[in-house]
Structure 1
Amino acid sequence: MPLPRVSRRDLSYFFFSQHFSDGLRTTLAILLPAVLGAQWGQFAAGITLSTGAVCLSVTDTPGPLQHRRNGLLAALALVFIGALLVGWLAPYRLALGLLLVSLSFGLTMLLVWGARAGAVGSATLLGMVLTLAHPPEGWQANAVHAGLLGLGGLWYLLLAMVQSSVQPYRSAQQALGECLHAVAGFLHIKATFYNASTDLADDYRRLVAQQVTVNEKQEAVRDLIFRSRQIVSETTSTGRRLVLTFTETVDLYEHITAGYYDYGALRAAFGSTGVLGEIQGFINRLAVDLDYLGSAILANRAYGSPPPDRLPELTQLQARINALPTPDPGTGLSTLVLKKILVNLRDLHRRVRSIRRYFDEGQAAALAPDPRRVAGHTQFVARQELEWSTLGENLTLSSSVFRHAVRMAVACSVAFTVAELLWHGQHNYWILMTVTFMLKPGFSLTRERNIQRISGTLVGGVMGSLVLWAVPNGDVRFGLLLVFMVIAYSFQRTKYLVTVIFLTAYLLIMFSFLGLSYLGVIEERLTDTALGCAIALATAYLLFPRWEGEQLPDLLAATLRANLAYLRQLADRLAGREVLPTTYRLLRKDVYVASANLAAAFQRMLSEPRRTRRRPSEVHEFVVLNHILSANISALTTTWQDEATPNPAVPPEARRVLTSAQAALSKSLARLAAAPAPDTAAPAASATVALMQDVRVDAQADTTNPDRTLAEQLAFLQKVSTDLSRVTEALAA
């Protein structure tokens, strides 16, 4: 299989990304204390300082500066206390085991306050486990060890805070650039729908998967911009441009999503003319333009030249469409649908070019965001309050966090027992460390991580051994160690397999500098990793397993509620009632988030044991129909928003059709609420091809075709809502 082609733009996205800068910072924070300690004859102290930096790096996930600082401070205190407790109880193995088991439960329960709090618990567990490598003897040695661990963590905290203070906008710029990159990828996938050689079912699967990615990127930018007062309240042009460009990016994504057509009918009617290939080519070029803009924002550099003017291409495409003969009446389409596509392409081109204003310093004064709009956008950011009552409310088996904490405590107790009684390796604490990082709340992610950990350890062991065998020069080895560290810490939040490969390789090189036999280290690491992964996987499978199929009813209901509210705002517009822009954007965001959560859970479900999957064919059909419904609601709403004329008058019978669509969604919600516990033992057979044929049949009343009346467009919304109700009935049966 040929390797994927890596373009210059791909390299730019990597080397200027937040992940790479985090990798550089983490490498510096870990390596510098050890190197200085070796130079000053205090290598053991330097290693302990580096260990403290490693622990705090686990907590330093992307986000607003104040949230990162609070998380790092909490981790610093807990890592210090945890190390003290482990050092104190190290001679008393039974008491130590009880401490580890109880704290593994308590620290995992921190997840009730969000992912960052959960990372604080993981950092504390890591510090405790690493203390087991060489537990200090005596109170004084214990206090010194815990103090050095805390100093190492403090060194990492100061380094992270200084970097953020010197470059206050870099995180937001990097997140915005990556968001544009994800939207460009979404646009590339939309282009494939015009290619008659692609499978529509596969196109929809990739589109839904990319929708999950776009939602994650948008949430990351929202979190960074609208939680940072320095960005939304100051008067510098950089903050203004970040806010405005992000809002324009969200609007652009909505217009891309709203561009839904009956692609099966389009292919049948115009596939032989070649015009669909020209449309696909234009959309791909537009996506490349957007990608270049994202790359420039990510790299914080000036855009060298104005983006290409695609208007001549649109003019040529218009002439090409005008010259087409009328298609066969049996297709139900005319060239008017192509002209509608052309109008949408002009709109997308205009919006992509408007993002170019980010680079125009001269427009800084004109780009000042409306304070009311900024204040409205703060409503888009979810708040996580640290209330003690939340912890108590989750101390029940109905809580997924509680069940995960119980699994973690049981797995840690088994790992500690195995390390104490059955396996006496020099680094047998690796078993416990593997368990704490491999066991995840969901079985699918635990399984995926375990596979990546074992395969990555094997590949990394071979790579490290080859380096040690083929490179005798110590300076060259140290240079490779630096490279491997940067790569490992750059991919730790995106590609875990890459992290494990290079982490294993650099650990082998590091142990060789300590005089250890790398073959012995490889053997022990593979054994410990296999034992830890087996314990984690068995615990996730046997003890209160959290199957994605069990979570589907709640996610399906959340998606239906979001679309029902989205449909109601459309009904309000048709009735002449005002819908505030902020209200509309909040409803739109709810639809995107709910749809992305459902799609992500569906993808995870497919990686679980077959007997636990719940009707995958029907869930896939629901996901596709949900996308079609929200796209068509957006298409109608954005059309009226962009026009200066008031909303068109709608006859009562058309409004009754919309009321019927709302009733269908409400009925679906009621079915899910009354549904019995899901039976996951007999999943439905896959029927993807038939599903897509049904969707194409359902979509014959193409909502964006301009030769359809508004009443017919609303009737199509009713048809899709009814189909959703039908699929929901099958899922709830």
Structure 2
Amino acid sequence: MQPILRSVRYFLSSHYFSDGLRTTVAVLLPALFFFQVQKQPDIGLLIGLGALSASITDMPGPLVHKRNGLLACCLTIFLTAILTGFARLNGWTLGLEIGLLSFFFALFNVYGNRAAAVGSAGMLTLILTMARGANTGATGSQTIALSEILTQATLILLGGLWYTGISLVFRQFRPYRQAQQALAECIHEIARFLRIKADFYDGRTDLDDDYRRLVAQHVVVSEKQDVVRELLFKSRQVVAETTSTGRVLVLTFAEVVDLYEQISAMYYDYQSLRDRFGATGILNLIATQIHRLVNELDAIGLAILEGSAHRPRLDMHAALEQIQAAINALPPNTDMGNPLVLRRVLVSIRQLAERINGLLQIAPETGTTPADPSTLDYSRFVSHQPIDVARLRDNLSLRSSVFRYSLRMAIACVVGYIVATFWPNGHHSYWILLTITVILKPAYSLTRQRNSDRLLGTLAGGLLGVVILAFVPNPIAQFVFMVLFMLGTYSFQRRNYITMVICVTPFVLILFNFMGIGFREVVGERMLDTLIGGVIAVIASYGLLPRWESEQVLPVLRDVLNADIKYLQKLEESLCGRVVTETDYKLARKSVYVQSANLSAAFERMLSEPKSKRRHQQDLLQFAVLNHIFSSNVATIVLTTVDREHTPATDTLLRPVRRSLDHLAEALNRLDRTDKNPELVTTPALPSTSPATDSPDDQLLAEQLAFVQKLTADMAKVAATIQG
């Protein structure tokens, strides 16, 4: 029960819920005011539409990006409303506008998620503004005053500015809140990653499935870390902060990233552990203690999220001593072999517990002043994506996935408009277009998933709405339900799509019921329109200029190998006695984690594509797992050599590193030959090293480096198989 309650508390304090609450208030208040007080519901609906459109672009990010995105959205929806107001006077011009604007807005994906959200807001305004006009057929026309078009567009603009003002005021009064929420969610996902790690010590789980879940969770953690970096390192207010709050956020995130590295570095031969020690019960004890670490880490994240003090509850001394005694009691000279590996696991758990407890030492409630975190150049840890015409021009060809997606969107929307125009199915056939724009995504896997979620969610939500309207006749109770579903819709729109659809359908049914439209007719119409729009979107995604993941995997593999080489080169430079700065090392580490996450995400998308389009599925999974083990072992070596004196290592240590680099470079060069024969990658020559006597620590390090060499050789073989 406690994990469920903790999940609920995480959600209620998350930015998803606060964003949903803000959107609900911004949309609902104008509608209620103009409906109840001014008796002009149309004005309230138009202002609410503007607020809803602006909310789509209000995602976590630096204040300047948030402000610019909201203002760009307001301008976009204003101009779109004017164009649509004139275009809907004639069916042909409206169809032309739908085709051109859907193509244009889809191209916004070139500039990232926030710009893509501005395009989505523009499409929403187009469709809902179009819906206000009469269905006149392909050649019909209607008369509408210029002043009415400008008035409608102005009201939509006012709605967007109304939401913009609310959002910026909240941000001004609580400037660190989004960073706290993002940091807490990052810690929460790292705790989930560690929970999967604990399953490796549970003999009842399948190791292949564990690895797949681990690499998938790595994608989630990487995304959360990127959000925190955007919020912290692109904000001068936070990075240059001289008060405790800003320093605590930056220091805590730095510690969290190092903690994640340490968790990732906890790699062992789990199959061997299970075979040798599974019957002793020691692995179950280890898994239990890791779950304790998970709970403590989750509690720290929740404390940051809620802004409350967290009292450390992690005292593992007695439990770890019990495990140590069990290890010491193992009989010698048996088939189990040397239990040294179990002692290493125990040391890793102790170090992990110390680092988790260390997070509490930089909390605001400790009363201590954190050290100045400005030793790192934080601007190098975030990517910058300028808005320029050149980037758009470079994507105007069939080589660009965004261009292909834009063509698919335009064709699908035009087909949807034609079907909606001539389909004799009620007065809300614009739902077909709305379904297409919401479901159709650049990747087929996302389109397919959204289509099934929308169909199931619409069915479940429709049944729920009918039950409420049939058995709850009281208007006040219905209004309360509508507001709750409205809040659920806006709270889950970025978190869980199927839940959002389940909420939005009864919300729409109850709203239409208040407007005097029979809900029984509406629910059937909505189901049919959703089905038609979903079919059009899936067909377009499959048949119109598709770009399958197997066709795009080689560039992803090259990026992974490049990052691996640079990461390993930092270790090589350190072993050669060169000084590797903390910034350079952490940048190399970040690159490996990001590129590994990109590979894992591509693999997950491939699994949702048609089987006939999947190529090298098992090889890609094997490469992703090998790459994860590689980065884990390199991180382990770095952590164990961090205090090593800057003296050149022996050839015994450097030889496997250089051979590992050769393996990675060979794999990269082989993949690069498929693209216009670029210059081959070579590892740099390093100065000869001084001879030295191998110590016991060096012997252990040599074993670890030899294992890394074997991993890179296996990675090169798998890469060769994928390249074919």
TM-score normalized with structure 2 length:
0.94
After superposition, give the CA deviation of every residue in 1:246-288 in whole Å (9 maximum; x if it has no partner).
0000000000100110111111221121111111111110110
Task: Classify 1:651/1:461 alpha carbon distance in 2 versus 1 (closer, same or farther; 3 Å).
Answer: same
After superposition, give the CA deviation of every residue in 1:463-490 in whole Å (9 maximum; x if it has no partner).
0000000101111111111111111111
Cα distance in 2, alignment partners of residues 370 and 207 from structure 1: 31
Displacement after TM superposition at 1:10 (Å): 1.1
Q: Unaligned regions of 5+ residues in structure 1, if any? A: 678-704
Residue identity opposite 2:151 in structure 1: V
Task: Please point out which of 340, 344, 349 is paired with 1:340.
Answer: 344
Residue 12 of structure 1 corresponds to 9
Contact 1:340 1:706 in 2 (8 A): no
Task: Please point out which of 349, 353, 360 is paired with 2:353.
Answer: 349
Residue identity opposite 2:721 in structure 1: A
Residue 240 of structure 2 corresponds to 233
Task: Please point out which of 180, 188, 199 is paired with 1:192.
Answer: 199
Contact 1:89 1:96 in 2 (8 A): yes
Residue 713 of structure 1 corresponds to 704
Task: Please point out which of 347, 372, 381 is paired with 1:369.
Answer: 372
Cα distance in 1, alignment partners of residues 582 and 550 from structure 2: 36
Contact 2:314 2:353 in 1 (8 A): no
Contact 2:293 2:314 in 1 (8 A): no
Cα distance in 1, alignment partners of residues 403 and 587 from structure 2: 31
Task: Please point out which of 701, 704, 718 is paired with 1:727.
Answer: 718
Displacement after TM superposition at 1:328 (Å): 3.0
Residue identity opposite 1:336 in structure 2: L
Residue identity opposite 1:35 in structure 2: L
Residue 97 of structure 1 corresponds to 95
Residue 577 of structure 1 corresponds to 578
Displacement after TM superposition at 1:672 (Å): 1.4
Secondary structure at the aligned position of 1:7 is classed as: helix
Identity %, equivalent residues: 45
Q: Unaligned regions of 5+ residues in structure 2, if any? A: 134-142, 677-695
Residue 80 of structure 2 corresponds to 82
Cα distance in 2, alignment partners of residues 247 and 600 from structure 1: 24
Displacement after TM superposition at 1:435 (Å): 1.2
Contact 1:242 1:358 in 2 (8 A): no
Displacement after TM superposition at 1:706 (Å): 7.7
Task: Classify 1:316/1:487 alpha carbon distance in 2 versus 1 (closer, same or farther; 3 Å).
Answer: same
Cα distance in 2, alignment partners of residues 390 and 676 from structure 1: 21
Residue 498 of structure 1 corresponds to 499
Contact 1:640 1:647 in 2 (8 A): no
Task: Please point out which of 284, 287, 309 is paired with 2:294.
Answer: 287
Question: Is 1:326 paired with 2:326?
Answer: no
Cα distance in 1, alignment partners of residues 664 and 321 from structure 2: 42
Question: Is 1:139 paired with 2:146?
Answer: yes
Secondary structure at the aligned position of 1:372 is classed as: coil
Cα distance in 2, alignment partners of residues 464 and 609 from structure 1: 34
Contact 2:488 2:500 in 1 (8 A): yes
Q: How does 1:647-658 map to 2 (within 5 A)?
A: 650-658=649-657
The RMSD of aligned alpha carbons is 1.7
Cα distance in 2, alignment partners of residues 712 and 349 from structure 1: 26
Cα distance in 2, alignment partners of residues 706 and 18 from structure 1: 47
Question: Is 1:24 paired with 2:50?
Answer: no
Cα distance in 2, alignment partners of residues 568 and 308 from structure 1: 37
Task: Classify 1:29/1:327 alpha carbon distance in 2 versus 1 (closer, same or farther; 3 Å).
Answer: farther
Secondary structure at the aligned position of 2:393 is classed as: helix
Q: How does 1:557-572 map to 2 (within 5 A)?
A: 557-572=558-573
Residue 597 of structure 1 corresponds to 598
Residue 258 of structure 1 corresponds to 265
Contact 1:562 1:591 in 2 (8 A): yes
Q: How does 1:20-419 map to 2 (within 5 A)?
A: 20-39=17-36, 40-135=38-133, 137-303=144-310, 305-326=311-332, 328=334, 333-365=337-369, 367-373=370-376, 376-419=377-420
Cα distance in 2, alignment partners of residues 516 and 5 from structure 1: 44
Displacement after TM superposition at 1:327 (Å): 5.6
Residue 683 of structure 2 corresponds to none
In the comparison of the two structures, how many residue pairs are matched? 695
Cα distance in 1, alignment partners of residues 210 and 71 from structure 2: 45
Cα distance in 2, alignment partners of residues 709 and 562 from structure 1: 26
Cα distance in 2, alignment partners of residues 617 and 18 from structure 1: 37
Task: Classify 1:212/1:314 alpha carbon distance in 2 versus 1 (closer, same or farther; 3 Å).
Answer: same
Displacement after TM superposition at 1:297 (Å): 0.5
Residue identity opposite 2:229 in structure 1: R
Task: Classify 1:327/1:391 alpha carbon distance in 2 versus 1 (closer, same or farther; 3 Å).
Answer: farther
Displacement after TM superposition at 1:571 (Å): 1.0
Displacement after TM superposition at 1:676 (Å): 8.5
Cα distance in 2, alignment partners of residues 193 and 328 from structure 1: 23
Deviates more, 1:36-45 or 1:495-504: 36-45
Residue 438 of structure 2 corresponds to 437
Residue identity opposite 2:20 in structure 1: G
TM-score normalized with structure 1 length:
0.92
Contact 1:278 1:317 in 2 (8 A): yes
Cα distance in 2, alignment partners of residues 507 and 296 from structure 1: 37
Contact 1:337 1:706 in 2 (8 A): no
